[in-house]
Amino acid sequence: MRHRAMPRGPTGTRPRGPRRAVAAVQAFLVGSALGVPLLATPALAVPALAAPAGASSVAPAQGSQWYHAVLGLTQAQRISQGAGVVVAVIDGGVDADHPKLQGQVLPGAGVGPDAAPDGWRDDDPDGHGTAMAGLIAGRNDNGRPEVRGIAPAARILPVSTGAEADSAEVARGIHRAVDLGADVINLSLGAAGSATPDEREAVAYAFAHDVVVVASAGNVETGDHEINSPANIPGVVSVTGSTARGDFWQGSSLGSRAVIAAPAPGIRAPVPTRVSPDGLDTGAGTSNSAAIVSGVVALIRSARPDLDAPNVIERLIYTARDAGPPGRDVEFGFGIVDPAAALTRPVPVVGANPLLAAPTRWGLAGQPPADADRAGGGSDAAGAAGSGSGSGRGGEADSPAAASAVPPTADGRAAPAGGGATPPDAAASAAADPDRGGAAGAGPGQDHDGTAAVAAGGDGPATGGAAGHGSGHRGVARVALAWVGGLALAVWLGGLLGVGAHLLSARRTTTGRGPRGHS
């Protein structure tokens, strides 16, 4: 199975000449319509936030692209810039001499027969690996400041597969990235269909070594209407595309394994000068989306080195801005990535990768998506009708004891300890924050067997489930009482109607005996 890098150009090829200019103009017009800063514009003014200990002192950027403003990147980078985190980029290699990447690239590895042994050469025809590395950790003090990385203090570990890659090389690349110390692995590549056993084993190897694996969902233009591999491997952060207005990018693949969305079109990134004379290029694709999310993961891992990979992922998806149908859906997954929220909001602790549970929550009531069963998700009709995003959640816990006291629910999210009651402070925080997706504990949840469970903090029965409080006998008694009462009411109404009909008939008989009027 041959893997390909996600194309950056709008039609599957890199924009050249006038097309590159058109792409830049399109990005400018979109940003202008939204009122967000773009190229060479002042950064957003936000309150200064304390940076974590050990953060690198990278100079603040003086310009933004549309996605920087939409994501609130300026605020997030005042909290964390990814210092101390290593992000592996498994791709065609990285141009380590590019001004945007000087000093950012560690000695890596080559796993393909034509790959540079240290990964320090971009063999992809479009300079794809260099672009992804630049989106993750590009410098803002060399060249155009608006072309910069999400985590400019992080370091890139290039693992080159040469000009092309097959599944065996991708699997070996994941192993090499883990062995060389990667904290995050970015896979902006993929192939249609299911992952191979080698790829699944390699991803499991990464999970066992506390590595977060991020992969692009795929692009429709290449024929990938469903999420491709390795993004469709359970536990991988599968990234779809979003637009400047927060809509789903129609060029993105979708499916039940969608985890989170991030900006995809009209994004400018560094490329080798053999690709573009100015060393910059504008393109679209879920490759961009995956690289952006990998950068956000680097911000989290730098700011919160105490968190293991499962809790980094939980923080990423728990704080995502809900988009599309309420709750998790096949386009946005849990929502659009929100870097500042991921760094600041209270998030419950989980004991395992929240993405390893089968997807069971969908944005709309009814049957799950058509490919849910094939992907390992879905539930019966009763369970789907009662599914929602209202499982109760508590505040953040930092101790191992707290982690063991907060078991994950069926949808992979952590449920609060103590029978599911939502702490008042968590409920107030959720109610005051619409980005949290509603007040904690509001709405029915899902039990482990797919049936609806009582909502946290609720007093009545959840949809399709048993009574929330009291015994089953009490519920049966209530049903019987309601049935008897309904029967008695029906008998009473029937008698009343019968008496009325009798009186009306008698009146008609009496008046019919008098003289007939003129017709």
**Residues with catalytic function:** 91, 128, 287
| Whole-angstrom distance, CA of residue 315 vs CA of residue 296 | 11
Whether the Cβ atoms of residue 413 and residue 354 lie closer than 8 Å to each other: yes
In degrees to the nearest 10, what's the CA dihedral of 450, 456, 460, 461? Answer: 0
| Whole-angstrom distance, CA of residue 476 vs CA of residue 468 | 13
Q: Give me 418's structure tokens.
A: 């103590």
Residues in the chain: 519
| Whole-angstrom distance, CA of residue 16 vs CA of residue 28 | 18
| Whole-angstrom distance, CA of residue 238 vs CA of residue 260 | 7
Place of tokens 């105490």: 306
| Whole-angstrom distance, CA of residue 230 vs CA of residue 204 | 12
Whether the Cβ atoms of residue 167 and residue 195 lie closer than 8 Å to each other: yes
What's the alpha-carbon Rg for the chain, to the nearest Å? 28
Q: Give me 102's structure tokens.
A: 């000087």
Instruction: Please tell me whether residue 155 adopts helix, strand or coil conformation.
Output: strand
Q: How is residue 476 annotated by DSSP?
A: H
Exposed e or buried b for every residue in 302-319, given b needs 16+ CB within 10 A? Answer: bbbeebbbbbbbbbbbbb
End-to-end CA distance of the chain: 93
| Whole-angstrom distance, CA of residue 243 vs CA of residue 35 | 14
Place of tokens 């048993």: 466
| Whole-angstrom distance, CA of residue 441 vs CA of residue 420 | 8
Of the candidates 130, 167, 118, which has an alpha carbon nearest to the alpha carbon of residue 14?
A: 130
Instruction: Please tell me whether residue 475 adopts helix, strand or coil conformation.
Output: helix
Q: Give me 412's structure tokens.
A: 């992979």
∠ CA 433-413-227, nearest 5°, is: 100
Instruction: Please tell me whether residue 390 adopts helix, strand or coil conformation.
Output: coil
Cβ-based neighbours of 424, under 8 Å, separated by 6 or more: none
Q: How is residue 356 annotated by DSSP?
A: G
Strands 212-216 and 237-242: parallel
